[in-house]
Chain A
Amino acid sequence: MSAGTRILVAIAGGFTLWALVFTAVYAGHATGCEIGWGLASGPGGIAPLRMVLVLIPLAGLGLTLAGLWLLRRGAGLAPRLATTAQLLTAAAAVATVYNFTFVAILPLCA
């Protein structure tokens, strides 16, 4: 990976994951409600759509935290950029939690 690409991934990686989760949750929610996944009952009485909508942010959060761990171990960046990248990735993790927690709580297709 070139130095430029490494910087791009380090700086933008966390929030790119947030954006992908955002898109997947929004699109998944709209599609799931249309095709009836929001009403069906899955394991434990939980709607399959609910499970999908919870799993997507969890996966995104896991990847973001993994990225943060890698950054803290040292991604070969200069100190100022490394700090910026860590700040951004940590912020992306917080944003993921804040933005998607309620998919476990709110009515699905109302």
Chain B
Amino acid sequence: MTKAPSGPEETVESLLPGADPAPAPAQPAAPGDGVTDPLALDAELRRIWATGPGWQRFAAVNHSVVGLRFMVTSLVFFTIGGILAMLIRVQLATPDSGFLEPGLYAQVFTMHGTVMMFLFAIPLFEGLAMYLLPKMLGARDMAFPRLSAYGYWCYLFGGTLLIVAMLAGAAPDSGWFMYTPLSSQPFSPGIGADVWLLGVTFVEISAISAAVEITVTILILRAPGMSMDRMPVFAWYMLTVAAMMLVGFPPLILGSILLEAERAFGLPFFDPLRGGDPLLWQHLFWLFGHPEVYIIFLPAAGALSTLIPVFAGRPLAGYRAVVAALVAMAFLSFGLWVHHMYTTGLPHLSLALFSAASTLVAVPTAVQIFAWIATLAQRRPKPDPKTRPGISVSMLHVFGFFFIFVMGGLTGVMLAIVPFDWQAHDTHFVVAHLHYVLIGGFLFPMLAAGYHWLPLISGRAHDGPAGRLGFWLVFAGFNGTFFLMHITGLMGMPRRVHAYDAESGWHWLNLISSVSSFVMAIGFAVIVIDLLLTLRFGRKAEPDPWQAATLEWAVPTLPPPPYNFAAFPRITGRADKLEPRKLAPVLARGEGYLGLARHGWMETPGVSVARGEPEQIVILPQQTYLPLWTGLATGAVFLSLLFKVYPLAIVAALVVVALFLRWPVGDHAAADQGELPAGEGAVLPLSSEAPVPPAIWALRVVAVADGALLASLVFGGLFLAIAAPGWPPPVWPELPVLPGVVAALALVVAWITSRMAARGDVLHGAPMLGAALAANLATLASVAWMIGALPPLQDHAAQAVLAAVMVWLGLHAFIGAVLAFNALRRLRTGHVSARRRIDIDLLRLWQAGLLPAGLVVLGFPTALKALALAALP
């Protein structure tokens, strides 16, 4: 493998001192070097990367297609959520309204929140990130296109499950936060709560998939030379958001699993009569729920940080401070969750801890806002030449954002102060605040982003006044709707009430809110019509119409072809100071890295994390129905759980595993390929032969989410031991020692044998792989033994918690066994060699992580007992 040469244009500092790539010796020319027929190259690349017509669309994995599907589907769910909001406003428009009966009203407001948070906001930015990131970073697709497609199907099926349940009158009705005990079986006996718990968890698979996908893509799928400090700021935002998702979503997934286990099997995690605690749910939910607000805001902020400099005609002011602010915000956002729980009776010192963190998070938010204002202040926004002089529709939405989000932020600081929150808690003041933050901080920036990137996505330029009219209707309608809720909230109107008295004095304010909400809805309709008219009748967009300076505008055509770039440039400076109009024709001629079409492979460059030096040629998978089938099988698991057909759930889960085992295929991996020319003198290995291929990165990233889930589980157990009533149980659930020792030894054996299998000539590693497989099965059997030795799990939360951590270990041992089996299988079929060792390295990495985690799990019962006994009054 060689480094790319430093040309005379190499003027920007490299990332690490003394690490400037040395000029490389002359290398054999790549097959695509010096391509003289761009049209032929374009045609061949289109053929390789295209998504087929008709039914083949179900096999699409291309990031542009999947990203657009995410966005369009999320907008459909947004429409549904919006209609539900209209129903709420009709109900509250007049006192003592009989428009919706109380049970239906509870379903409507629960589904409104659920749809907007889980089915609209998160998938919309996931789709935007999937669509934009490869183009912005200089790649032909995301790192795992099939994972994107699988995530989409999980999202679609999970979301559909929730909507169908609502149409069938079986929607959840406990609020979008599903507080226990209201959502527990005795108080929500139907399947509505199960629909929420399983449907949302199903959708969360999509979010975790996207987080893995986004992280790995940003880390290693960039144009050569694009070191981390040269990345466009949007990539920093999305990298931070993806990391937050990896840590923030597992507590919710865990909470949903525990609550479903309580509802289905009677395991009393949240039942205070049997050692559980309803507050555990609130902790797990808000451990997710508060970072979630920032997870939603930061992608929108990333879009703002990208498009404001374009319209200001100058680079983002305070780039370093902005990156520092968003990283700080990501951390601080995890220290705020209890500010949703100020009224639950926590000690004052704990409240102060969270109140301080809650006020602190305003600082990095303000840093970003001031950076945007400074960027705008240093140059007048360019007039939009295609509309009347003045600011563009996109910038109108940016200004809408400033006004609304800053107001929401200020009321957020008010609510961070404990005494004020005690007064305003669970009133409409909070409803006003959260809508100012979420609509101001997400919807307006996303509308700005939509208009900004509309020419890229559609190839059409936006004209006409309808966009402006839509903005003003939404802006006026929004403030008319939600500003007044501050007042009704301060007057004492509680959230989630079905009706109120005529004597309350809230009547006129609510009526104006409701009328304004319809104005806002009309505004959204105008925007939709405006966009549809643009798509249908808009004139063809010129290249880089905004004179932006990021790589996504250097694609050869608008909209971009499925392969994005015919070749990749070497980035020698900041990737938000490029000249796309000059770059695009050069790349379209195939001048640069990988300007070739070889063996029908879908190639994109893989680079080192820090310096962005080319390290591998990543071969991406072609379109396939596997993600669809796997998504359907996953759906079967969730439906079986919903209808409590547990044997079918197990069968479906095994089908999912079997389908996943079919994923790692590819003719390029069936034989050693050696190092291949990659253009610009570089000679690189394929990803299947690279030391650290994308799959290894993916496993490292998954380990973060997995660790967060285990940490949440351990936290939950320890929390119950010291905070829940009825601890310790009358008879402590002792686990047998022997299987614990066997499990510990088996974990060590699996780790050692997986390491030995990965050493040297892996072709002779079959016995070691077999031993690793057996050791994992031994762990699994030991775990089953220990769970079987516990007293009835329904009797007390202590044994339920112990069973839960043991299930975690058993599941991981099972996955270890599957990985060992897969490596054995691939070894036998010739897909593993001394150069092609991904399957064995995955197993080695898995076992290396499982060993310490497994020992923590095995030691957990002792720690739990010690803590429970120490906390005895």
Q: Which residues does A use to contact B, with CB under 8 Å?
A: 2-4, 6-7, 11-12, 15-16, 18-19, 22, 25-27, 29-31, 33-35, 76-81, 83-84, 87-88, 91-92, 95, 98-100, 102-103, 106-110
Contact = CB atoms under 8 A, between A and B. Distances in A.
Given A4-B609, A80-B229, A88 B871 contact: no
A108 B347 CA distance: 8
B319 A91 contact: no
A15 B867 CA distance: 29
B167 interface: no
B19 interface: yes
Interface stretch (B53-61, B326-334, B455-463, B676-684): B326-334
A22 B335 contact: yes
B582 interface: no
Contacts of A98: 356, 360
A80 B228 CA distance: 10
Contacts of B228: 7, 81
Contacts of A87: 320-321, 324
Contacts of A80: 229, 319-320
Contacts of A11: 327
A3 B331 contact: no
B851 interface: no
Contact of A18 (B331, B609, B723): B331
B608 interface: yes
Given A3-B609, A3-B611, A88-B328, A103 B320 contact: no
Contacts of A34: 722-723, 870-871
A98 B17 CA distance: 35
Interface string B313-348: 000000111011001100110110000000000011
B710 to A, nearest CB: 15
B231 to A, nearest CB: 10
Contact of A91 (B324, B350, B609, B867): B324
Contacts of B323: 84
B462 to A, nearest CB: 34
A15 B349 contact: no
Nearest to A101: B356
10 contacts: A2-B610, A3-B15, A3-B19, A3-B610, A31-B867, A84-B324, A87-B321, A88-B328, A95-B360, A109-B349
A93 B195 CA distance: 44
Contacts of A108: 347, 349
Given A22-B353, A29-B353, 10 more contacts: A12-B331, A15-B327, A19-B334, A30-B722, A30-B723, A31-B722, A78-B16, A78-B229, A99-B360, A103-B349
A100 to B, nearest CB: 8
Contacts of B356: 98-100, 102
Nearest to B611: A3
Nearest to B719: A30
Contact of B328 (A91, A107, A110): A91
Nearest to B15: A78
Contacts of A76: 16-17
Contacts of A26: 350, 353
Nearest to B330: A15
B369 interface: no
B227 interface: yes
A88 B327 contact: yes
A29 to B, nearest CB: 6
B348 A12 contact: no
A81 B229 contact: yes
B60 to A, nearest CB: 32
A76 to B, nearest CB: 6
B217 interface: no
Interface in B1-51: 13-17, 19
B182 interface: no
Contacts of A18: 331
A95 B320 contact: no
Nearest to A110: B348
B284 to A, nearest CB: 15
A102 to B, nearest CB: 5
B332 A95 contact: yes
Contacts of B610: 2-4, 6-7
Nearest to B868: A34
